[in-house]
Amino acid sequence: MIAAVSVQSLSKYYKDVCAVDKVSFDVLQGHCFGLLGPNGAGKTTTIEIMEGIISASSGQVLYQGQLVDSQISQQIGIQFQNTALQDFLTVKETLNLFAAFYQNTVAQEQLIELCDLKDFIDRDNRLLSGGQRQRLLLALALINDPKIIFLDEPTTGLDPHARRNFWQLITNIKAQNKTIILTTHYMDEAEQLCDDIVIMDKGKIIAAGTPHQLLAKHFDDIFIYLPQAQVPHELVSEYGWTKLADRIEITSKNVEKTLRLLMAQGVSLDGLHVKSANLDDLFLKLTGHSLQA
């Protein structure tokens, strides 16, 4: 199967700064692909080379096996984080304005439906909430009926409700067999939406795979938390458990055995919290810091 986009040994130097260092990955047709990494990891540089906005120092990007060229902008959709919307235009007028830039466009009713714009279609851009603005920006990214859509931190700054609404839209778009390339600082977003992820740090790929594969590879432990006051210090040091601000973190391969041990030691299980590792834990393990700034 030919990848929708294939990034091959891509490097980018800014004078002596190596922003991207021999990065290779494939994005499969119809998948949601997540590019994750801390600030300065090289994500934007990689994505901008893929979008044909800047050129690589070396390496190449292939779309369906063909080298990326200036025509690519007609075939891809980009939702930029900070697109400036024209003041004094309504949402509908904005859609019309952007449609004029492309040879092929999607029917406006379809976009309104897909991005759920109906309730504010005649509203001035300046009066949109954060979530409504993001939905309009998504519609603009879809206006040329692209097969591949780039979303740059699409839910940054949105409240949890608006984020969940937006995830639903992305799921609907994916169901149309479109390929989505997403950057995000939210690990729950990546876990929810992405079929494949690549984690970059300092210009290099440090992990790649499906969220499930990556978690299975790096963790076989379950985390158990108990309020600190309930766990005697001697037990914490004897078993090498971790003291957090107000909790004790116990990593365990066998939850049942650990709980039995705690009970045998007379430790109260009030306020017990058990969780599996998630992408945030993976990120912390691989990079030494949490992704959420």
Ligand X SMILES: Nc1ncnc2c1ncn2[C@@H]1O[C@H](COP(=O)(O)OP(=O)(O)OP(=O)(O)O)[C@@H](O)[C@H]1O
230 token code pair: 């309930």
248 closest CA partner among 278, 272, 266, 279: 272
Question: Could you tell me if 155 and 182 are in contact, meaning their C-beta atoms sit under 8 angstroms apart?
Answer: no
Q: Which residues of 176-211 are buried (b: 16+ CB within 10 A; e: fewer)?
A: eebbbbbbbbbbebbbbbbbbbbbbbebebebeeeb
> Which of 2, 9, 17, 274 contacts ligand X by CB under 6 A?
17
- Interface region with ligand X, contact rule CB under 6 A, candidates 39-47, 139-147, 209-217, 260-268: 39-47
Residues 19-38 that bind ligand X (CB under 6 A): 19, 37
Q: Which residues of 49-68 are buried (b: 16+ CB within 10 A; e: fewer)?
A: bbbbeeebeebebbbeeeeb
Query: What is the total count of residues that contact ligand X (CB under 6 A)?
Result: 11
Residues 92-121 that bind ligand X (CB under 6 A): none
Q: Measured from the CB atom, is 49 or 139 closer to ligand X?
A: 49
Contacts of 268 (CB under 8 A, 6+ apart): 230
Supply the minimum distance, in Å, between the C-beta of residue 12 and ligand X.
Answer: 8
Q: Measured from the CB atom, is 124 or 188 closer to ligand X?
A: 188
- Mask of contacts with ligand X, 42-71, x by CB under 6 A? xxxx--------------------------
If one asks whether residue 39 binds ligand X (CB under 6 A), the answer comes out as yes
Residues 270-289 that bind ligand X (CB under 6 A): none
Q: Measured from the CB atom, is 199 or 224 closer to ligand X?
A: 199
Q: Measured from the CB atom, is 14 or 101 closer to ligand X?
A: 14
Supply the minimum distance, in Å, between the C-beta of residue 83 and ligand X.
Answer: 16
Residue with tokens 């004078």: 15
Supply the minimum distance, in Å, between the C-beta of residue 109 and ligand X.
Answer: 35
Supply the minimum distance, in Å, between the C-beta of residue 185 and ligand X.
Answer: 7
Question: Which positions lie near ligand X, rule CB under 6 A?
Answer: 14, 17, 19, 37, 39-45
